[in-house]
Amino acid sequence: MSEGIPVCIAGTGSYLPEKVMTNADLEKIVDTSEEWIVTRTGIRERRIAAEDEFTSHMAAKAGAKALEQAGIEAADIQLIIVATITPDTLTPATACYVQQHLGAQGAVAFDISAACSGFLYAMKIAKRLISDGAFENALIIGAEKLSAFINWEDRSTCVLFGDGAGAAVLRKAEKPGDGEILATEMGTDGRQTRLLNIPGGGSACPITINNADQRLATLAMLGREVFKHAVTRMKQSAEKVIERAGLKAEDIALVVPHQANLRIIDAIAERLDVPYDRVFTNLQKYGNTSAAAVAIALDEANRSGAIKKGEHVVLVVFGAGLTWAAGAIRW
């Protein structure tokens, strides 16, 4: 299937809250250990947003950096898509607050909910809308304040997640190889909703005075099952975009995967036959920041020089839904 008029990534940005929570800090809250967390996940610390710092604030800060790198004024951005499962409010969309924070009054703004896959879902939507001529540019953002939706008494989940935001500006590619998004792919398996969800707080289970003590508006996960699906789906998804982009594993200079667990990332690198030094990780510092994770990783890879102009990069993600997605880019 044709991917349409070429669209490129013109700039990236990210924002992490100041407060660092280490594994030693978690040892004081729940029955866990630095050794367990590091060997099972690779995570050493995560960032926690301030009480008055919302998802939209982090999203706008990451977005402003991406706009600055792209050389586009906020007033000139035409589309803002925020991927999040931790919106400021159920309605309006977090993207509307972001539009206001940035002063991007000319932009159409909406959210999408695809959990950890959200940033790449947003990328595919924005790419298509730009290549169809509906918009000239777009700001896509993955942003989460997961700390507000964690049960801090549940050691099986609270050690895994963190807060943050990452963003990218998309526009029509002026010349081939200009950060061009070569191929994208996404998928969903709604049979597996039970594996990873926030059961309360929606219309199916509103929080009431009678259930308020059950912490239903916090993340629940069957970790082992999620792990198996993550490895299979991310491998398949990455292979599809590599093939669609007309590439081979050896052409990929860097894989930027969802940052949930180093063991998942190791398993995918091995199955894709990509050497580990060509896989970008930063979950050691930030934990799993859901929709923000791959966006923050892409920005760090970009700004640190881990990706060089003309090189091929594969992004691949997986999350609740279950959802998965991948993208191949010629940087």
Pattern 290-319, ligand COA, x by CB under 6 A = ----------------------------xx
Both structure tokens of 313: 């990069």
SS (H, E, C) 151-185: CCCCHHHHCCECCEEEEEEEEECCCCCCCEEEEEE
**C-alpha torsion 296→243→124→114, nearest 10:** -70
Shortest-Cβ-distance residue relative to ligand COA: 223
| Residue 86 found at the interface with ligand COA (CB under 6 A) | no
**Are 120 and 329 a contacting pair, CB within 8 Å?**
no
The one catalytic residue among 23, 57, 137, 258: 258
In the bound state with ligand COA, the residue whose beta carbon lies nearer, of 22 and 156, is: 156
Subset of 143-162 contacting ligand COA (CB under 6 A): 155-156, 159
Give me the amino acid identity at 31: D
In the bound state with ligand COA, the residue whose beta carbon lies nearer, of 237 and 261, is: 261
Distance CA 80, CA 140 (A): 6
| Residue 260 found at the interface with ligand COA (CB under 6 A) | yes
The one catalytic residue among 137, 288, 302, 312: 288
Q: Return the range that interacts with ligand COA (CB under 6 A); candidates 16-24, 134-142, 218-226, 308-316.
A: 218-226
**Are 106 and 80 a contacting pair, CB within 8 Å?**
no
SS3 content of the chain, % helix, strand, coil (to 5): 40, 25, 35
Pattern 20-49, ligand COA, x by CB under 6 A = ------------x---xx--xx--------
Is 23 known to be catalytic?
no
Residues in the chain: 331
Distance CA 105, CA 96 (A): 10
**Are 159 and 32 a contacting pair, CB within 8 Å?**
yes
Subset of 97-136 contacting ligand COA (CB under 6 A): 116
Among 226, 254, 297, 307, interactor with ligand COA by CB under 6 A: 226
In the bound state with ligand COA, the residue whose beta carbon lies nearer, of 141 and 159, is: 159
Distance CA 59, CA 164 (A): 8
Binding site for ligand COA (CB under 6 A): 32, 36-37, 40-41, 116, 155-156, 159, 221, 223-224, 226-227, 230, 260-261, 264, 288, 318-319
Active-site positions read: 116, 258, 288
